Amino acid sequence: MDDLYSGLHGKHYDQLYWDADWDLSFWSGQARECGDSVLELACGTGRVANTLALEGFRVTGIDNSDTMLSEARRKSASQGIDVEWVQADVRHFELGTTFPLIIFPFRSIAALLTAKDLEACLSCVKKHLKVGGRFIIDAFNPDLDILSHSPEDRYPFAEYPDPQGKGTIVVTHSNVYDAASQINRIELFFKLPSQTEEETEELNLRMYFPQELNALLEYNGFIIEDKFGDYEKTPFASSAKLQLLVCSTRR
């Protein structure tokens, strides 16, 4: 997962997703139901982890990117909250404790590009999940219209103020989907105010189809207690934009 936005400083990442708050009340509700402590996988700059910590939960956030964690630490320090930030690969971590709630928000599971990667992550989750605990995954519901885009076409992605105050950064993207690997290869193009040439970032995302993801979880010892299509807990259907899976483990 270290390649994910590898060239983007945490401040740019936050500006890119400045309006990403639609899921926060869901995660807060889950934390209240489970109580005690929360482990967030692929925590990035702390968007979810800091929100939960501000509400009084004990939170641990894992991410593989030092630049993301640096921004997460800066934000938690500025807010006067205590979060345990851990630089680690979600496929290989050992924290020496268990949690009643482990979350994998913001479709970050898509950065696990192979079934082997996913299974390694799930093995770590099982070791760190308390008996009777809850593991929740937010995954894409693959959109065939998007996956069939021509790689020659560009689409708007975002616009945001340059963190250094030098104007507006315009981001567009193209993508090509490899059906054999189920990886959607996205190229992001950043037009910076002070440069004539665009900067680019490659983003590779594994598409986990609904029945496939169900089967992988069940094969690896998880029970799917609920599956929703949005953060309002609408039952999952083919038209849903995401797969929100609430899981427990077989003991």
The pLDDT value given to residue 17:
62
Classify residue 248 by burial, with Cβ atoms within 10 Å: 0-12, 13-18, 19+. Answer: middle
- pLDDT the model gives residue 187: 94
Residue 237 confidence (pLDDT): 98
Q: What is the pLDDT of residue 5?
A: 42
Q: What pLDDT does 18 receive?
A: 55
Confidence at residue 85, expressed as pLDDT on a 0 to 100 scale: 98
Query: Which pLDDT tens digits describe the chain residue by residue (251 residues)?
Result: 333 344 455 556 666 665 668 899 999 999 999 988 999 999 999 999 999 999 999 999 999 988 889 989 999 999 999 999 999 999 999 999 999 999 999 999 999 999 999 999 999 999 999 999 999 999 999 999 999 999 999 999 888 887 777 788 899 999 999 999 999 999 999 888 778 888 888 999 999 999 999 999 999 999 999 999 999 999 999 999 999 999 999 76
**pLDDT for position 199:** 84
